[in-house]
Amino acid sequence: MAKTKVYHVSAGNSSKGPIGFCAEIRAKSKAEAIRKLGNIIPDHLELKNYASRLGIEYVTIYFNVDAVTEEDVDEVRDE
């Protein structure tokens, strides 16, 4: 039985562009980590309630989960 590791995924870079995100996923392989991440990332996220308190109509962030790949794993740690 394969031991799980912690895979750090970094997609985008908010220091260089407007959007970035990262996640740490416990999995047995990079492929499994990407699959798990893909199962929880929505195609979009609306910040309407929060934004409306600030006088903003809406903010919608779109995700292309199919574009997140094993190449986006930038760190692997043993448990």
- Per the structure block, which two tokens stand in for 64? 């292309």
CA triplet 4, 75, 71: central angle to 5 degrees? 100
In this prediction, residues 22-43 reach a mean pLDDT of 96
Mean pLDDT of the chain: 92
pTM: 0.82
Residue 4's pLDDT is 96
On the CB side of 39, how many CA atoms lie within 13 Å of its CA?
A: 7
DSSP letter string, 25-39 = EEESSHHHHHHHHHH
Which domain does 73 fall in, by range? Answer: 5-78
DSSP category for residue 75: E
Task: Give how many domains the chain has, as a whole number.
Answer: 1
